[in-house]
Structure 1
Amino acid sequence: MKNSIYVLLMVLCMLSCKPSNQKDNGLTSKNETTIDTTTISIKDYNVKPDGTPYSNSELNHMSHNELMMMVYEPPRDTIQTIGILLYDGYFTLDAMGPLSVLNHMSPTKKIMIGRKKGIITSSSKVKTQVDYSINDIEQLDILVIPGGFIETYQATKDEELLNWIRKIDKNSKYTVSVCTGAWILGAAGLLKGKEATTHWYKAEEKLTQYGAEYVNKRYTNDGKYWTSAGVSAGIDMSLGLIDHILGRNYASFTALNLEYNPKPPFEGGHPDNTDRVVTYMMEKMYDIGLEPLLKEDKNK
């Protein structure tokens, strides 16, 4: 079944990709002109001319090509390369959630890029072998920057890393952050004057510090900059990105394949709907974690 799913994914992507004059060197791609297309909703598209839905019997009598053309929507962009930045201490789901979603954009090349080559260890001690460092990658269509905590704050002071992000951003089609990854984007100067979101901890304070306008949403985009709230919100944002690039049908196909239908056992996950004592406790934990770094910066 897994093989059948990926064959279908490949066919869908081949249908949705226009011929490109880009030269593919395996890692890089040049910016292309965005395809102007009108988004057609499922409500208006996957129904009969009289507006009624197709029955299983009617669908069973359609050929494979007929069904494929029903779900086809012209893409906004041709995406050839997606790079996910990894650094020691990143939050695992910040990177692997978007990877699980964006992996449906076959045959697009997805690569993990380390601050250095070798083993990168996440905050939850998941070790990943990374074959490319920032010194190896010159260009990407989509750059995804996950968040973390202590190491993310340290990354906001890493000029070599920030310069690399600025370089990639010059030609990227989409520059994306998850959770506190927006701190890194902000430190690179890429969110000035932009609407953005990030993890709820000091969210407005941090984004204001970088000249951005904080938006209290699960995810948001301002032009080519897409940012998500904390950790799990990167999945929502990535589905939104696929919806934007490849259309609602393809995004729905992706969500269905992942069975992304979240129903948490209780309300929570954000200060707006979490007990104040619990929220206060977590705020203090974050404060204590950052305190030594803030003191160090103050004494420099």
Structure 2
Amino acid sequence: MTDEQRYGLSTDSMRALAANFEPAGGRRLKIGIFVCPGFIPMDIIGAQSVFGIVGAEIHLIWKRIELVEGFPAYPTMPTTRFEDCPDDLDALVVGMIPPEMMADPDVIDFFADQGRKAKNIIATCSGTLVIGAAGLLKGRRATSNSNVVEYLKDLGAIPVKGSDVVVDGNIYTSGPATGSFDASLILLGHLLGEEVAKLAELTLEYDPRPPFKTGTPELAGPELAERAHLAMLEINTAYHRASVAGYERLTSA
């Protein structure tokens, strides 16, 4: 795989498009996005889109270069192994992953190591639990999806309810899905300037208009919120166990 293929720049049209967004001086951002078996694409696609549109060097990071299945039905080929991950990432990005992956010591050790080297971190949905398990949220304000945000206190964090992006130092956390776009645009503004971020937002025509307006428990009402809570209860309980186990293993070492 060539670098042009790796970064989606193997066609003249896409190279020309990316060139329109290159910052003065030509420095390309370096972004690492974590993928693994069962990762949730909607939680990282915002970062991939926002940073990709400005021609960033994007690394899809996993243990091995092997096809992994995003859920649902999103086969993805990683481009970068753990040991080859650059130590100078402008941002390390993680979204929701299965509890089994969170329980993998190799995964948490990777985040404990690279999370301290990366200039910034974006964690969306229960990806916040991943960086919390890696000990990166001690004393930090952070948020997540509504059903797991309270778990953050068991990882040394200060939970913040609500779907808005929470920025604490170099760590950007958010709720699921659109939170990935929001956090990435905010960080892009900090990295390359507000005008670049505004242009990226407009080029993507990012302007969410949910048709049913039930995207938070408060908007959905108690009956629908309870149904959603019960649907996610088993997997969220597994997230709690895995993240606390990882956190305790690292902090007690």
Measured against the shorter chain, the TM-score band is 0.7 to 0.9
Q: Distance in 2 between matches of 1:202 and 1:167?
A: 24
Question: Following TM superposition, by how much is the alpha carbon of 1:91 offset from its aligned partner in structure 2, in angstroms?
Answer: 1.0
Alpha-carbon displacement from aligned partner over 1:250-284 (angstroms, at most 9, x marks no partner): 11110111111222223221112112111101111
Give the superposed CA RMSD: 2.6
Do structure 1's residue 96 and structure 2's residue 45 form an aligned pair? yes
Aligned match of 1:126: 74
- Number of aligned residues: 232
1:40-87 Cα shifts (integer Å, max 9, x gaps): xxxxxxxxxxxxxxxxxxxxxxxxxxxxxxxxxxxxxx6642110101
Q: Is the 8 A contact 2:125 2:145 kept in 1?
A: yes
User: Unaligned 5+ residue runs, structure 1?
Assistant: 18-77
Alignment of 1:208-287 (within 5 A): 208-215=153-160, 216-287=162-233
Q: In structure 2, what is the equivalent of residue 164 of structure 1? A: 110
The structure whose Rg is larger is 1
Q: Percent identity?
A: 25
Q: Secondary structure at the match of 1:286?
A: helix
Distance 1:217 1:133, change over 3 A: same
Kindly provide the amino acid, as one letter, of the partner of residue 236 in structure 1: D
How much does 1:161 deviate? 1.5
SS at match of 1:227: strand
**Tell me, which stretches of 5 or more residues in structure 2 are unaligned?**
1-10, 246-253
- Return the TM-score normalized by structure 1: 0.70
Change (3 A) 1:131 1:249: closer
1:27-176 pair list within 5 angstroms: 80-106=29-55, 108-139=56-87, 140-148=89-97, 151=98, 153-176=99-122
Write the distance in 2 (CA, Å) between the matches of 1:169 and 1:293: 20
Query: Structure 2: how far apart are the matches of 1:262 and 1:135?
Result: 37
In structure 2, give the amino acid aligned to 1:113.
I
SS at match of 2:44: helix
Aligned-pair CA distance for 1:117: 2.2
Q: Distance in 1 between matches of 2:94 and 2:122?
A: 6
